[in-house]
Chain A
Amino acid sequence: MAPEGVHTVKSYEQELSRLRAMMTRMGGIVESQVAQAIAAVTAQDEDAARAAPGQDPQVDALERDVEGLAIRLLALRSPMASDLREIVAALKITGDLERIGDYASSIARRSTRFDLADSRISLSGLTAMGRLVQENLRRAIDAISQQDPERALEVWQSDQGVDEYYTAMFRALVTYMMEDPRNIGPCTHLLFIAKNLERIGDHATNIAERVYYAVTGENLPAYRPRGGLASDAAETSVTR
């Protein structure tokens, strides 16, 4: 337990470790919010729909705590190099996590506002997209707690799949709406839900980029492999 780079001030090391623990805890809550939001939509689980927004205050409190601790560390310890990068990244990552939590709450709240019981709209695409987003988020949070740039790179690369799903969902939903105007209400909600999921995927990618930078000191290329563009989808499906 004495590798090189151990800080002479014991409590500094402890504070850094506390910072990491808080981030992981925040990640865990956000992860469960996203799981609840997806269950609320795909399984019409009303308990889950209420539970996801219920965790918002905890996430907000943790965000403030992380911010407070990070600023304290910056002010009192003048961290250098990788510590400095980690602390600054932590400030930004909590912002991303908090946004993800908000999107999850918004999906959960929206899920109670429409009923698919007697329409033939299929949710299988949304279910699969949700799984992929959850999987990416899980890896992004693993990357934070293990400070693992490889994991981060994986997330960064697989966001393309999420974008492609969004495009496919967009097309399918527009088709449903053209088939029957009664579908417009629920499909609009589903469209927002798909958009929110796509945003969650983007924030997971941001987290991955920040972890990568914090650990390696290098930025990932500005150009990220992107999936289908929603604007193209709009054109092809409307002119068809």
Chain B
Amino acid sequence: MHTLLDIALVAGSFVIGWAVRAWRGQKGHEKKFLTTSLVEDGRTVAASPMLPSALVELIPVPIVLLDMEGHLRHVNRTAKGLFGDSINAVVRHPAAQAVLAGLPREMIETTLLELDVPVRRVVRASFRRWEKSMRAVGWDFDGVVMVLADHTEAAVVDRIRTDFVAHASHELRTPLASLTGFIETLQGPAANDPAAQQQFLAIMAGQAARMQRLIDRLLYLSRVQRLEHTRPQQMVSAGDITDRVLEETCVMMRNADASLTVEAPEDDIFFPADEDQIVQVLLNLTENAVKYGGSGVAITLSAQPSKRGGVVFAVVDDGEGIEPDHIPRLTERFYRVEKRGKVSPEGTGLGLSIVKHVVDRHGGRLTIDSAPGRGTRCSVWFPPAA
């Protein structure tokens, strides 16, 4: 990860240092190349200096320009893409503010800061101060250049691994204990009872399948978590996504005696996302609707443009609905709604947790509206391109 910071620092200080030198330098052609300023009668007229914002837009590392009070003056495209609106939280973080308060001229200072929400991040921020008397490329205020580098991955991988081990060992213990119990029974008391053997083997197959599902889900979840701090940039089509969901759910719908209707928007909507992950999110939501909606449930999947930009996907069912006290806890890992004493055997308690992590990664929002007897509406909003 050091390389990224190095590139950032080298690129940042190189371009800015170069710009400063160019401005102060006596070589006319160098000055002209960068600023297209005119020199008339020995007097410099800054006709159209290359704006600092235009300059930092070109640098492919996240850069923020601040004034001396710490107000954002410019956030370049890379920074917007990587950090979204967390950029404010980065700048006001006490570690960053402490550096800003005592930053000497011409010195580069670096600090490491951590954010918890909306996704956990560890960011390395390097600061360099300039003054308007330096007359650097048209800045008319004293300020600070802040170059950011994301160090989240190294910091979270460790935690993800611990989480995985803890969850896997805890959640696999129950089905494993039941498997061991049945194996002992098959070896002893039921050794000569073919009818009981068939019955036990069927239960064992079910438990093994459950363990398999659990492991698959856990692996998927840790993969999602590992990518959580990287915001997807690729534009995808909402129409393609709903088509894929319709295809992939058709077997499930037939087996469960449920129906899925897709309401696609008139004009397709494009938004930055990881297509496979969004499909997974909608599959999980649809699966929940089938599992908890009861038989003959009618499900609608829609994609609509949002008033505040971006797209809203909604999965609506006319099933049994959810008691209000469960709703806030649904996205917790391994939280499952118990229906009159029985827990759905197929649920891993991870589906909505995965949904939440994917939505957080995209800077989106998950909303669940439900009431007993009135069905459930799960909607996910994804923001437009930065």
Contacts and interface: CB of A to CB of B under 8 A. Distances in A.
A164 B328 contact: yes
Given A25-B97, A28-B93, A168 B328 contact: yes
Interface string B324-339: 1101110111110000
Interface stretch (A13-21, A87-95, A196-204, A206-214): A13-21
B206 interface: no
Contacts of B70: 21, 24-25
B24 interface: no
Contact of B69 (A18, A135, A168): A18
A228 interface: yes
Contacts of B94: 28-29, 32, 55
A91 B94 CA distance: 21
Contacts of A35: 114-116
A14 to B, nearest CB: 9
Contacts of A1: 140
Nearest to B141: A1
A25 B93 CA distance: 8
Contacts of A142: 85, 88-89
A67 interface: no
Interface string B284-309: 00000000000000000000000010
B325 A124 contact: no
Contact of B117 (A20, A124, A138): A138
A17 B332 contact: no
A29 B101 CA distance: 14
A28 B118 contact: no
Query: Secondary structure of the B side of the interface?
Result: loop
A25 B324 CA distance: 38
A125 interface: yes
A24 B117 CA distance: 17
Interface in A69-116: none
B92 interface: yes
Looking at chain A, what size class is its interface with the partner chain?
35 or more
A168 B89 contact: no
B333 A124 contact: yes
Given A28-B92, A146-B88, A134 B328 contact: no
A135 B93 contact: no
Contact of B332 (A128, A164, A167): A128
A38 interface: yes
A132 to B, nearest CB: 8
Interface residues of B, number: 28
Interface string A38-70: 100000000000000001000000000000000
Contacts of A28: 89, 92-94, 96-97
B352 to A, nearest CB: 11
B71 interface: yes
Contacts of A195: none
Most central of A21, A27, A165, A227 by chain B CB within 10 Å: A21
Nearest to A124: B332
Contacts of A167: 325
A145 B92 CA distance: 10
Most central of A25, A165, A233 by chain B CB within 10 Å: A25
B116 A38 contact: yes
Contact of A31 (B85, B89, B325, B332): B89
Interface string A164-178: 110110010000000
Nearest to A19: B69
B325 A141 contact: no
A186 interface: no
B92 A171 contact: no
B71 A134 contact: no
A168 B71 contact: no
Most central of B71, B328, B334 by chain A CB within 10 Å: B328
A168 B329 contact: yes
Interface string A128-144: 11011011001001100
Interface string B76-101: 00000000010011001110110000
5 contacts: A21-B71, A28-B96, A35-B114, A138-B89, A228-B324
Q: Which 7 A-B pairs have the closest CB atoms?
A: A28-B92, A21-B69, A164-B328, A134-B117, A135-B117, A165-B328, A35-B116
